[in-house]
Chain A
Amino acid sequence: MRGTLRELVRYPSALAGLAILAFLVGISVYALVAIPYPEAVRLWSGGEAAWPRNPRNARPEWLNWLWGGRLPRTLVVHSPRVPARERDLGSGVREVQFDLPFEYRYRRFPTEVAVFVYADYQEQAPQLELSWRTPTGSELRLADLTPRRQDIYRLSADAELRRNLGGAPEQMLFSTADRPGEAVPGRYTLTVRAFLFEPGSSVRAELVVYGEVYGLAGTDHLRRDLLLPLLWGTPIALAFGLLAAVGSSLSTLLIAAVGAWYGGWVDGLIQRITEVNLILPGLPILIMIGTLYSRSLWVILGAVILLGIFGGGIKTYRALFLQVKEAPYVEAARAYGVGNLRMVAVYLVPRAIPVLLPQFVTLIPGFVFLEATLALLGLGDPVLPTWGKVIEDAYRAGALYVGYTYWVLEPAFMLMLSGLAFTLLGFALDRVFNPRLREL
């Protein structure tokens, strides 16, 4: 085994494959440790509610390098701890006022503006007046609201405000009449004036000016950070590919060995089942299972393994085992009393490892891609953040038509990377284990 490794690293392709694989495994470990499974599922299937402060369909932040920093980042402004002004209006009514100022440095408009309100009260909610001041000094009344204890006021979605401003609020609020297509950089202020009707009550606010870039990977249409499925998709893809490949090739190997060893009707039966299985269409069966039974990744995994057990590999392995069966060492083993089961498991199967291992490694990407294919067909796991799901979402949103290329390219890149790793490794393993190939 150590010799194999030593020989393996002589192939640059193996080194590259191993390096990529190490990277993917690193990502997997990081994902599993940094974002525990329940948390990942909550963040992913919670939808928008889990990521209210993220912009929708934001590009990855590093794209700003190419754009010369022109893409606005999201700004979050918190209300001050102590209100700028507090006045007792008598009969238990207080007036509180504070400013949420921020510096806007971009020529491009933000994608959305929202105010998050946190009101603390027993029965009677406070009343809020929001107003807006631009760098040019013009002041504007935005809205009056009576917030729930936790509320989000989305300026961009306020139809009345839109009517009053005569356009999309996130644009009208940032531009002047003479240059309507461009944001004016400078200091903006949101002023919150609140009337509190209860002695102990208080109010806080948070202004979010949504930008066009977010994080390392950007976000999708549900404001979800794409880093989550990219990270978490890695261990899922590796596990799916690995388990499917291990499950199907080990069982194939075992069954082929059993058939070759026992011969007779056992062998005949295995051969017939294999032939029938080979003409069964795999993908349609998986689609049926996904549609009619369960879309859980693990159910699909089980089905993939079951379909793979009596795969075409059986014929190859059987031919190999029929040869091995005649080997003198098998005869010797029978002479010292090795029984049938041990013979198959300990004497026949290991002999096929050199053939199996490279094949096994090159099988993995196929299964990884299969998961993505199923997701694209709408049969992806409903709760797991996988690469396939990202591609499916992007596809449904027409991402490529509306210019969100990053949305498709990122998961595609990960898929390609894992495919590449296993393929490179598989080819090198094949050379190491089956030296005759070297001459071919």
Chain B
Amino acid sequence: MRGDPLLAARGLATWYELRRWGFLHQGWVRAVDGVSFQLAEGEAVAVVGESGCGKSTLAKTLLGLVRPLRGEVWFEGRRLGGADDWRWYRRRVGYVQQDPYGALPPFMSVRRILEEPLVVNGVSSPSKRRARVVEALEAVQLVPPEEFLPRFPHMLSGGQQQRLVVARATLLGPRLLVADEPVSMLDASVRAEVLQLLRSLQQSHRLSVVYITHDLSTVRHFCERVLVMYAGKLVEQAQVTDLLREPKHPYTQALLAAIPDPDPENARRLRPVPPGEPPSLVRPPEGCRFHPRCPAAIPGVCDRREPPDFEVGAGHVAACWLYEGARTVTAAPAVEGGGSP
């Protein structure tokens, strides 16, 4: 981590209420349940985890689109509490969604789409707006801008749509970009190009990025750090290289399968689906949420008490009882079914 944190999440818990017939309380979906992490200025962090583990909910919570039940979001040392804070924050954060077509209002031209954030954030001079819009289009290589300005979203290819979304997200000069699976719905052929664009924008503007993905192979190019999420909780946080080399948490280890690959960059890949069923978020397992699936589960411990975060290395944290006490800084356990107490 470099410098003071730009963004800090402290004990975030976002639960969705489940209701029957619109009013009878049925329970809570604990989509995000006690998440804390920090993000330094200019740092890109990836959030990985299987489908439905709460990644998008975490992104929306960080953006203030859903209100957490508990916990706080801090930005540039300011706690985001009242409406004023959020308004201040919105200009400093950009949001890139998964489905580029859905993220663009179909009835607005490219020009309107890009002008909207400027209008609502008080850029009232049309000429200034136009200049900013053209600049933004050029920055995402939608050139020549005049050709794109009058088009509607359906007249753009998927890659162009997503670049437009990126242009919109970076238009107000944000410090932070939250990208929720920005390339998962794109053709493989344009993924690299959009990721490249995000990367270069991140570097040229010293943007911090929260990059949510399924695909660990892209993480390596893009991020310094990885947060592994499981059933609403962060189970492991580490530098990319550390995580790929030495995954500590049994879930991460299950996620990473050793796949022989001529390209050493791809030595480890994210398995699409780790074995076993994802747990219910309405009634999550007691103790460690991974214990029903965990090959290394410690009976009597893992199914009773929730593991706290253990510092397992420099900037490497894992929430697993395997690393309790003395074992905190031990060497990497074997890839599958590592050390038992």
Binding site for B on A (CB under 8 A): 327-329, 331-339, 342, 346-347, 350-351, 353
Contacts and interface: CB of A to CB of B under 8 A. Distances in A.
B240 interface: no
A331 B60 contact: yes
Interface stretch (B114-122, B139-147, B229-237): B114-122
Nearest to B118: A336
28 contacts: A327-B102, A328-B97, A329-B104, A331-B60, A331-B65, A331-B95, A331-B97, A332-B95, A332-B97, A334-B65, A335-B64, A335-B65, A336-B94, A336-B116, A336-B120, A337-B90, A337-B91, A337-B117, A337-B121, A338-B116, A338-B120, A339-B120, A346-B116, A347-B105, A350-B105, A350-B107, A351-B107, A353-B107
B214 interface: no
A353 B107 CA distance: 10
Given A350-B107, A353-B107, 10 more contacts: A328-B97, A328-B98, A329-B105, A332-B168, A334-B65, A335-B64, A335-B90, A337-B120, A338-B116, A347-B105
B90 A336 contact: yes
A263 to B, nearest CB: 10
Contacts of B99: 328
Interface in B142-196: 165, 168, 172
B120 A342 contact: yes
A373 B117 CA distance: 50
A339 B122 CA distance: 13
Given A331-B60, A331-B65, A331-B97, A336 B103 contact: no
B63 interface: yes
Interface size class of B (residues with CB under 8 A): 20 to 34
Contacts of B116: 333, 336, 338, 346
B319 interface: no
B51 to A, nearest CB: 17
A331 B56 CA distance: 12
A430 B181 CA distance: 37
B93 interface: yes
A338 B97 CA distance: 17
Interface in B29-72: 60, 63-65
Nearest to A343: B120
A327 B95 CA distance: 14
A137 to B, nearest CB: 84
A335 B60 CA distance: 9
Nearest to B87: A337
A333 B103 CA distance: 9
Nearest to B88: A337
A338 B116 CA distance: 8
